[in-house]
Structure formats: structure tokens, C-alpha cells
Amino acid sequence: MSKSFGFFAIVALVVAVQLIEVEGVCTNIVANCAHEHVYCPSQCEAFGRGVKPIGWSCDFYNLCTCTYEHPVTGQFGVNQCEIGMGLCTDDCRNDCCYARCEIKYPKSGVGDCVQDYGIDYCSCTYRRR
């Protein structure tokens, strides 16, 4: 096998691995960390309904974002994950939000501007198996 073919094979493998969506990780935005009665880890436990959270963060515009090993069964029995993809502005509304989400989650991502928790942000919903 030539050195150039081996190098090309390694580069192709690295690119393919980076494009694969990580199975088994699901995030959900559940509360605003700025509210004094909100303790994000407790909110994640309550939202998970028995699914143990593996992490939480208030980094996305002070919104409590929980990370679970697999999707939490939500309203109407739908296993849906959600992540914030930036703020919605006059320059970036639903079409822009949808495009951001589709780039990150090409197989299942749907982006929509939502006004929730006092913030107008791009909500990207996606599915995990």
C-alpha cells in the first residue's frame, strides 16, 4: 500500500468520524437559571422523569440545559432532544434558525425561533435513537 493512499484513508476516516452524530446523548432546555428558585441540577432530575442526567449547564444565555444518556420521553410520548443554536434577531429568523439546526443535525434537526424563558432564541429539536 502506498504512503499517499494510507494518508488519504486516515484523513477520510477522521472526517467520517467527525460527521457522525453521537448516539445516546440528548440535551433539553428546561428552565431559566436566572430565576432565584431554579437550581439547574434539580430541574434536570425532575425533567428527566427517571432518566439520570449526565450533565447540566447554564452557559447558553443562562438557560438550564440538561444532558442525558438517551432521550427523555416527553409530551405525547415523543423522544425529542433540544439545544439552543443562538439568538434569533431581525437578520436571523426561522429560515436561518432552521439552516443552523439542519447543518448540525442533518438527519433530524428542525430549527425554529421561540420566545421562552424571557429570551428569543433558536431552538433546534433533533431525535436520537
Which amino acid is it at 84?
Answer: G
How many whole angstroms separate alpha carbon 87 and alpha carbon 93? Answer: 9
Q: Structurally, how many domains does the chain consist of?
A: 1
In a domain, 65, yes or no: yes
In a domain, 11, yes or no: no
Specify the pLDDT at position 63: 97
In a domain, 54, yes or no: yes
In a domain, 34, yes or no: yes
In a domain, 16, yes or no: no
42-47 long-range CB contacts below 8 Å, 24 or more apart? 47/72
Helix H segments across 22-122? Answer: 40-48, 94-104
Domain span including residue 65? 22-126
Q: Which residues pair with 9 in a beta bridge?
A: none
The list of the chain residues with pLDDT below 70 reads 1-24, 74-78, 129
The vertex-115 CA angle with 101 and 91, nearest 5°, equals 60
